[in-house]
Amino acid sequence: MALERGGAAETAPSDPTGGGKDWLTPSEQAVWRRLLAVHARLMLRLDEDLRAATGVSLGDYDVLVALDEAPGRSLRMGDLAQRVMLSPSGLTRRIDRLAARGLASRRDCPSDGRGSLASLTAEGRQLLAAAAPAHVRSVRRYLLTPVGPGALGDLDAALGRICDALDADRC
Amino acid sequence: MALERGGAAETAPSDPTGGGKDWLTPSEQAVWRRLLAVHARLMLRLDEDLRAATGVSLGDYDVLVALDEAPGRSLRMGDLAQRVMLSPSGLTRRIDRLAARGLASRRDCPSDGRGSLASLTAEGRQLLAAAAPAHVRSVRRYLLTPVGPGALGDLDAALGRICDALDADRC
DNA sequence: CAAGATTGAACCTTCAATCTTC
DNA sequence: GAAGATTGAAGGTTCAATCTTG
């Protein structure tokens, strides 16, 4: 059973529970599953390409980019954790690894003795400069170009509406 | 695309490497980042809802659904691993956990002595029946409805083109 | 010797507890 | 006492090695 009601029509059955329809039509189910599969494959490909070219993962790259864009190429641990969607402890350990490889470093926060600042090292900046062009080409080749210039705006709008739906139910 | 026409050129610089453009326009970058963030939030929400309602994760649920749809509610480990996008060892361990909870079980493959069959138990089927309606409603509420019925076809087509691009470069 | 599945080791992430500073 | 960050313990995933069967 699961996601779909057998062989049936493209119209979902009536709603017994009052909140919304209880089943996905075949085409809805197809899109949903395809979304999961394609997203996974896309991320895997970008990660593989990046690792092969630079030795850093997509997640590491995201951290380096965030630091590079920050004023002074430094960010508070908490802010950086949010930006890269990691837990505080998760970021602590990722910065540990990046620091061990010489790509990032730590400084004490001047304004708040409790805080730490993660910073991008010269070596990290160098890696970013070397890796960015190929990575950007990959994003374009596997996502932006296939979606098409005309549909990018539609995609952005849809993403915005999903965001709103998520926010609406947020307690 | 009506996304933006902002300060820096919306047209990417010329291409020094011959493969494609080297930089993302601001609007391209915005869509790309928003995609990452929205996908993460959507999966997190669906996972949280499912865990709260049933105690199983989205990944566990996916395994149970795959088994439920299979003939005899059973699948070879290798086939199931591919279906749910897990490594062979990853699936072995996930089935271990589901079996420990009584939601899945193992049988020897009748046709090939090397193989194992994972099966859905009656208890697993029961959990699925109880969990599916709410989960389906969540998928509809946070994804299908916000995207909109008219745009679903476009989304599916775009996903198909991304798939093709991924396949094209696959060696 | 190849294929299917499992096991051991390593890695990465999170939660809970802790330590320091405000 | 609360906030920011780190550390210990636990959970889950993958790679490499192993075991069994074709």
At B97-109, the pLDDT tens digits run 999 999 999 999 9
| A48/chain B closest Cα distance in angstroms | 12
Whether the pLDDT of residue B20 is over 60: the answer is no
State the Cα–Cα distance between residues A159 and B147, nearest whole angstrom: 8
Q: For residue A17, name the pLDDT band (cuts at 50, 70, 90).
A: very low
Q: Comparing B161 with B18, which gets the higher pLDDT? A: B161
Whether the pLDDT of residue B168 is over 60: the answer is yes
* Closest-approach residue (CA) in chain B for A157: B147
Chain B residues whose CB is inside 8 A of the A27 CB are 152-153, 156
Whether the pLDDT of residue B62 is over 90: the answer is yes
| B110/chain A closest Cα distance in angstroms | 25
Q: For residue A140, name the pLDDT band (cuts at 50, 70, 90).
A: very high
Of B131, B76, B138, nearest in space to B107 by CA? B76
Report pLDDT for A171.
Answer: 61
CA angle A15, A17, A20 (to 5 degrees): 55
Chain B residues whose CB is inside 8 A of the A52 CB are none
* Nearest residue to D16 via alpha carbon and C1': B89
**Over residues A30-55, mean pLDDT:** 96
Q: For residue A169, name the pLDDT band (cuts at 50, 70, 90).
A: confident
Contact check, Cβ <8 Å, A141/B169: yes
Mean pLDDT over each residue of chain A, to the nearest integer? 90
Contact check, Cβ <8 Å, A166/B45: yes
Chain A residues whose CB is inside 8 A of the B41 CB are 163, 166
**Over residues A112-124, mean pLDDT:** 98
Contact check, Cβ <8 Å, A85/B40: yes
Mean pLDDT over each residue of chain B, to the nearest integer? 90
Choice among A136-150, A157-171, B75-89, B124-138 with the minimum mean pLDDT: A157-171
Report pLDDT for A23.
Answer: 86
Q: Comparing B2 with A143, which gets the higher pLDDT? A: A143
**Over residues B3-28, mean pLDDT:** 58
HEC assignment per residue over chain A: CCCECCCCCCCCCCCCCCCCCCCECHHHHHHHHHHHHHHHHHHHHHHHHHHHHHCCCHHHHHHHHHHHHCHHHEEEHHHHHHHCCCCHHHHHHHHHHHHHCCCEEEEECCCCCCCEEEEECHHHHHHHHHHHHHHHHHHHHHHHHHHCHHHHHHHHHHHHHHHHHHHHCCC
Contact check, Cβ <8 Å, B144/A23: no
Nucleotide nearest to A88 (CA to C1'): D5
Please tell me which of the candidates B1, B136, B155 has its beta carbon nearest to residue A24.
B136
Q: For residue B10, name the pLDDT band (cuts at 50, 70, 90).
A: low
Q: For residue A132, name the pLDDT band (cuts at 50, 70, 90).
A: very high
Query: C10 C1' – B112 CA distance, angstroms?
Result: 32
* Sheet containing A74-76, strands listed edge to edge, beginning at the edge strand earlier in sequence: A74-76, A116-120, A104-108
Query: D14 C1' – B89 CA distance, angstroms?
Result: 8
Q: Is the pTM of this model over 0.75?
A: yes
* Closest-approach residue (CA) in chain A for B170: A45
